[in-house]
Amino acid sequence: MAYSSPIPALPPLQSGAFDSHAPAIAVGEPHHNDHVIAARKQLDSRRHDFRLHPQLVTEAELVDAEKRFHQVMTAQMGVVESNHDVMADEDTDPHPDWVQLILNRIDAQRQQLNRIEYQMNTFSRQILQEIQRSMNRNIRNTWEPLVPLVRIEDGTIPSNLPATMEEFSKARAPQINELLQFYHLEADRTLDDRKKKLQQYLGVNL
């Protein structure tokens, strides 16, 4: 089966940000699973950016992607409806499995992209953490600023880290315990040992 009407490609995002491309579909072009996959990837990409980076994708651009995806699906689902009319008299199952196969493939690709995104975020945070730790290694005086390290799993930094090593040395047990818990470090028996462990984790060599 082929498309009876054209489905144009969406224009680039106004922000100039990356947009997963779904190519235009011409009249008479055969139906293909890749058309659905490309439209869904574009929709998922815009949904992701609209949710996390709304300055990159406008609401109208997101709606356009949703409309285009449903347009492609409707065009291809028309094949199912016409097949139903032909096969109804033959007492056969009118609903083919190809629709579910496409959706399963889309879901698998989405999960793969999510895993890649998670791995890239984790790797970038590890690099950032090492940069921050190297800055702390350069501390030579107790009054120099102490750089907080990002937490690998979510990229957050603690709000209660002492500003300098001088303040760090005066920190009490509750504050140190909270920092150890924030970085998932085991608390030692004495306060001095806990401070030493945290200082070593932060990269300070004083």
Q: Tokens 């001095």 map to which residue?
A: 192
SS3 30: strand
- Kindly state whether residue 160 falls inside one of the protein's structural domains: yes
Tally of domains in the chain: 1
Return the exposure string of 110-147: e unless at least 16 CB atoms fall within 10 Å of the residue's CB, then b: eeeeeeeeeeeeeeebeeebeebeebbeebeeeebebb
In the chain the first and final C-alpha atoms are separated, in Å, by: 73
Tell me the whole-structure pTM to 2 decimals: 0.50
> What is the domain extent for residue 195?
140-202
- Kindly state whether residue 130 falls inside one of the protein's structural domains: no
d(CA 137, CA 188): 23
- Kindly state whether residue 95 falls inside one of the protein's structural domains: no
- Kindly state whether residue 174 falls inside one of the protein's structural domains: yes
User: What's the pLDDT tens digit per position in 167-179?
Assistant: 999 999 999 999 9
- Kindly state whether residue 47 falls inside one of the protein's structural domains: no
List the helix and strand counts (H, then E) for the chain. 6, 0
User: What's the pLDDT tens digit per position in 84-115?
Assistant: 443 444 444 444 566 667 777 777 887 888 88
- Kindly state whether residue 192 falls inside one of the protein's structural domains: yes
- Kindly state whether residue 118 falls inside one of the protein's structural domains: no
- Kindly state whether residue 14 falls inside one of the protein's structural domains: no
What is the pLDDT tens value at each position of the chain, 206 positions in all? Answer: 788 899 999 999 999 888 989 999 999 999 888 898 999 999 988 988 888 888 889 988 989 998 998 888 888 776 444 444 434 444 444 445 666 677 777 778 878 888 888 889 889 999 999 999 999 999 999 999 999 999 998 889 999 999 999 999 999 999 999 999 999 999 888 999 999 999 999 999 98
